[in-house]
Amino acid sequence: MTMLTDRQQLSYIAAQAADARVNLELETEGMTLNIGPQHPATHGTLRIIARLDGEQVVWAEPSCGYMHRGYEKLTEVRTFPQVTALINRIDWLGSFANEVPFILAAEKLMGIEAPARAQHIRTILFELSRIANVSLFLGDLGVQLGAITPVFMAFRDREYVLNLIEGATGGRFHPNFDRIGGLKDDLPAGWIDETRSVMKKLRNFCDEIENLLFGNEIFQSRTRGIGVIPRDVAMQYGLSGANLRASGVDWDLRRDQSLPMAWNKVDWKVWTHNDGDSFARCWVRLQEVRESTKIVDQLIETIPAGPVMTKVPRIIKVPEGEAWVATENPLGEMGYYVVSKGDLGPFRVKIRSASFNNMSITPWLLKGVYVPDIITILASLYFILGDIDR
Amino acid sequence: MARAPNGEVFPLSATDTETPVAVDETRNAIVARFSAALGDAVVDSLVKPGDDVWIRVRTDAWRAVGDVARELGFVYFDFLSAIDWMPSPYGRGEDDPTEPAPERDMTVRQGYAGGETRMQVLARVVDPTTTIGVNLKADVADDSPVIDSWVTVFAGANWHEREAWEMFGIRFAGHPDLRNMYLPTDFEGHPLRKDFPLLARIVKPWPGIVDVEPLPGGGSDDEAGE
């Protein structure tokens, strides 16, 4: 083998580096790494294209659209009650929470409000979807960082919550239970006692995860200081939910808005973290599950009596107008901008989903990180593909 | 108020009987602050007391509006999108293809804070200290919809503008990378425009045409059920 001179060697490497910046001093070759669309770390079909310089990312961009189902267009040919069946499937791990802001927007345009009992049960189911959603995140987090045990615990305990949701609504994943003016049905007998015991199990699950994962040295060294999002950058990109609160912004739409829901009737706390790194985001989510169990515990003791459905016309026509309603969903702020022309169906629905904004920060955030940290950062940002692509 | 079949009148809910908040000082002040900072660039505005604010601005002032919003404390970028105000020529995609096409009222009626063009850009920014948001609207010309990009104002506008470009065909001047977000690069048309048909309802007629059941309750739509 003929030996190249240093000079020849450098020019050879430079010629090879057609599409990536190459560090000539270290003589590493640039390469383009494709992650996905089918990849265990992506909660669906997301493709990330990363250009690497050695182990470091110089440029990364998620390529969305593998799950685009065109819900905004489809809502325009549906009636208002039919839309909930579609929007159930946006964030499929917390389906009931997707229905609530849309129903609230329609109710706002109609000038009606659900009865107090329906508001209470809505809030309980909303928080149960949060627990079902975020507990899976806590388990999945371990898998993505190489710890296999937490995901089994998460699936074990999430099952209890799904059983509760199924017991109340009839659907494990897609309840389609919320109606304009109230709820489809009342709670079944014995449901409240069952909920009480499940909430205890979920609090145990949180403690287990905290001991097993959050106290783990490997976990800490892989998440602390990784993917730091400063406060003002988080605001510019419209991050929401735990991602925003982990950057030190004390903002929770459940507390800061006066919606016809029952959150302000109970005592709970909004957790924030000042670090803004991956650990902070995971930690805030863990605390959120605990707070959710507390909210549910308090709410099931104080459900007011009365009907679960107010009087609405059989054929629902929503008066002309525009309404914006956003709620604090498991993934962050989920809002619907509903335009009605006084027809049976909406004229235009803009779905503002949390994951779309949360993911839009990744080209900025992934710049300069090491390859294994891509997975950590994506896991801690926590997105669901149906929620990005809609 | 609604009327039951037996003629009995009842309020639709408790909110019907309450007196609405007449004046919303906070939200009126927001409009005043925007007007003071932007002058005649604010074309129209609407405040729904206790609910929300809509401000329509001149198209050429769009980037300045973003800067002013940031200065006024609306530093949280919520979303950016667009609305096509033209009624769909396909209705709800439930026409019988064997029948002649029904006559439709195609007059363009804009929503809150008015408008002069078929398409409008809509953005929402929020003040994180008060959590009060503002809906900002701007007209875009029908023939060549162009508006300034907000990427230099809010970095997060990048993806939202790419989405608005592919779905509505609105160009954002100054956007560094206006590619399609979801659709293939060679996709033709802009799906969320109202004149873009929903193909699923074109290739296969709506099955509801053949077996039309009478709607429950018979006559009028306002009739209240249980």
- Phi/psi of residue A388, each to 5°? -80, -50
Answer yes or no: is pLDDT of B221 > 70: no
Beta bridge mates, A53: A30, A56
> Could you please report the per-residue DSSP string of B88-130?
PTTTTS---TTSPPPP--------TT--SSSEEEEEEEEETTT
- Enclosing domain of residue A254: 78-358
CATH of the domain at A244: 1.10.645.10
Number of other CB atoms surrounding residue A171 within 10 Å = 15
What is the full DSSP assignment across A311-338? Answer: --BSS--PPSEEEEEEEEETTEEEEEEE
Among candidates A232, A313, A359 on the partner chain, residue whose Cβ is nearest the Cβ of B221: A313
A314 neighbourhood in chain B, CB within 8 Å: 215-217, 223-225
Residues A225, A272: Cα–Cα separation, whole Å = 16
Quickly count: other Cβ atoms within 10 Å of residue A20's Cβ.
17
The answer to the question of residue A241 being in a domain is yes
* Amino acid present at B182: Y
Q: What is the pLDDT of residue A57?
A: 85
Q: Which residues pair with B121 in a beta bridge?
A: B82, B138
Average pLDDT over chain A, rounded to an integer: 85
Instruction: Write out the two tokens for A132.
Output: 């079902």
> Per-residue confidence at B160, pLDDT binned at 50, 70, 90?
very high
Would the pTM of this model clear 0.80, i.e. be above it?
Answer: yes
Q: Which of A238, A317, A352 sits opposite B221 (nearest CB)?
A: A317
Tell me if B84 sits within 8 A of A348, measured CB to CB: yes
The H-assigned helical ranges of chain A are: 6-16, 71-75, 80-87, 95-110, 116-144, 149-169, 191-209, 217-223, 231-236, 242-245, 253-256, 278-301, 354-360, 362-365, 371-381, 385-389
Summarize pLDDT for A137-191 with one digit per residue, the tens: 888 888 888 888 888 888 888 899 999 999 998 888 888 888 898 888 888 888 9
Mean pLDDT confidence for B161-170: 90
Which residues of chain B make contact with A236, given a CB cutoff of 8 A?
75, 77, 154-156
Quick check: bond before A40 cis, omega within 30?
no
Listed by number, the residues of chain A in 27-46 with a beta carbon closer than 8 Å to a beta carbon of chain B are none
Instruction: Mention the CATH class of domain B20-202.
Output: alpha beta
pLDDT tier for residue A284 given thresholds of 50, 70 and 90: very high
pLDDT attached to residue A339: 92
How far apart CA B65 and CA B61 sit, in angstroms, is 6
* Residue B108 CA neighbour count, 13 Å, CB half: 15
Residues B50, B46: Cα–Cα separation, whole Å:
12
- ipTM for the complex shown: 0.82
Quote the pLDDT of residue A349: 92
Which two three-digit tokens encode residue A208? 């287990």
Chain B residues whose CB is inside 8 A of the A345 CB are 92
Distance CA A249, CA B129 (A): 10
Is any Cβ of chain B less than 8 angstroms from the Cβ of A64?
yes
Q: What is each CA distance from B145 to A91, A92, B118, B151, in whole angstroms?
A: 32, 35, 10, 18
Confidence of residue B138 (pLDDT cuts 50, 70, 90): very high
For chain B, positions 204-223, list CB contacts with chain A under 8 A.
215-217, 221-223
Contact B75 A110 (CB under 8 A): no
Q: What is the pLDDT of residue B186?
A: 83
- Residue B101's pLDDT is 77
Q: What is the pLDDT of residue A104?
A: 92
- d(CA A69, nearest CA chain B) in Å: 10
A249 touches chain B (CB under 8 A): yes
Look at A236-250, A262-276, B199-213 and tell me which has the smallest mean pLDDT. B199-213
Residue range A331-342, pLDDT digits in tens: 889 999 999 988
CA A256 to chain centre: 19
- A290 pLDDT higher than 50: yes
Question: What's the domain count of chain A?
Answer: 1
Gap from B143 CA to chain A (nearest CA, Å)? 22
The C-alpha atoms of residue B166 and residue B157 are separated, in whole angstroms, by 14
Tokens, residue B196 = 């873009």
d(CA A18, CA A20): 6
- Whether A111 maps to a domain, the answer reads yes
Of these ranges, A28-37, A306-315, A352-361, the one predicted with the greatest mean pLDDT is A352-361
Mean of pLDDT over chain B: 80
- Side chain identity at residue B23, one-letter code: V
Could you say which of B78, B180, B182 has the minimum Cβ distance to residue A238? B78
CA–CA dist A297, A131 (Å, integer): 13
Region B6-34: what's the mean pLDDT?
62
Per-domain residue ranges of chain B: 20-202
Measured between beta carbons, which residues in chain A are less than 8 angstroms from residue B159? 356, 359-360
Distances (CA, A) of B119 to A88, A337, B61, B192, B197: 29, 16, 17, 11, 17
CA pair distance B13, A116, nearest whole angstrom: 11
| pLDDT for the residue numbered A3 | 54
With CB atoms and an 8 Å threshold, state whether B16 touches A315.
Answer: no
DSSP characters over A177-199: -EETTEESSPPPTTHHHHHHHHH
Q: What is the Cα–Cα distance from A219 to B196, expressed in whole angstroms?
A: 50
